[in-house]
Amino acid sequence: MSGLRIGVVGLGFGTAFLPLYLSHPDVHGVAICDADPTVLGAVGDQHAIEDRFDTLEAMLADDTIDAVHIATPVRFHVEHSVAVLNAGKHCACAVPMATDFEGLRRIIGAQRSSGRNYMMMETMVFGREFFYVRDLYERGELGPLSFLRGMHIQNLDNFPRYWYGYPPLTYSTHALSPLLALSGARVVRATALGSGRLTPDRMGDFPNTFPTESALFRLDRDDLAAEVTVSFFQFGRAYQEGFHVYGQDAGVEWPQTHEGDDLSVFRLEPVRGGHWGRSARMERVQPPDRADLLPAELAPFTHRHEWTPPGVREPITVHSGHSGSHPHLVHEFVSSIVRHRRPLVDAVTAAAWTAPGIAGHASALHNGDAVEVPDFGA
Q: Distance (Å, rounded) from C-alpha 100 to C-alpha 261?
A: 35
Rounded Cα distance, 329 and 122, in Å: 8
* Neighbour count for residue 248 (Cβ, 10 Å): 12
> What is the rounded CA–CA span in Å between residue 330 and residue 324?
12
**DSSP-derived 3-state class of residue 147:** strand
Q: Please state, in angstroms and rounded to a whole number, the distance separating the CA atoms of residues 247 and 173.
A: 22
Other CB atoms within 10 Å distance of the CB of residue 196:
14
* Report field, pTM of the whole predicted structure over 0.85: yes
| pLDDT for the residue numbered 364 | 98
Largest CA-CA distance found in the chain, in angstroms, rounded: 75
Residue 319 pLDDT: 86
Per-residue model confidence (pLDDT) at position 370: 98
The span from the CA of 288 to the CA of 236, in Å, is 31
Q: Cα(3)–Cα(337) distance, rounded to whole angstroms?
A: 10
The sheet with strand 52-53 has its strands ordered as 52-53, 27-33, 4-9, 67-70, 90-93, 118-120
Element (H, E) at 349: helix 347-365
Long-range contacts of 74-80 (CB under 8 A, 24+ apart): 74/99, 74/166, 74/171, 75/99, 75/162, 77/103, 78/103, 78/106, 78/107, 80/9, 80/56
Q: Which amino acid is at 134?
A: R
User: What is the per-residue pLDDT for 378?
Assistant: 75
Backbone phi, psi, residue 148, to 5°: -135, 145
Beta bridge partners of 54: none
Q: Which of 315, 330, 306 is nearest to 48 (CA)?
A: 315
What are 7's strand-pairing partners?
31, 68
Pairing of strands 212-219, 187-195: antiparallel
* Cα gap 101→79, rounded to integer Å: 14
Question: Could you list the pLDDT tens digit for every one of the 378 residues in the chain?
Answer: 579 999 999 999 999 999 999 999 999 999 999 999 999 999 999 999 999 999 999 999 999 999 999 999 999 999 999 999 999 999 999 999 999 999 999 999 999 999 999 999 999 999 999 999 999 999 999 999 999 999 999 999 999 999 999 999 999 999 999 999 999 999 999 999 999 999 999 999 999 999 999 999 999 999 999 999 999 999 999 999 999 999 999 999 999 887 778 999 999 999 888 788 899 999 999 999 999 999 999 999 999 999 999 888 889 999 877 999 999 999 999 999 999 999 999 999 999 999 999 999 999 999 999 999 999 997
Taken in order of first residue, the domains within the chain and their CATH numbers are 4-124+292-343 (3.40.50.720)
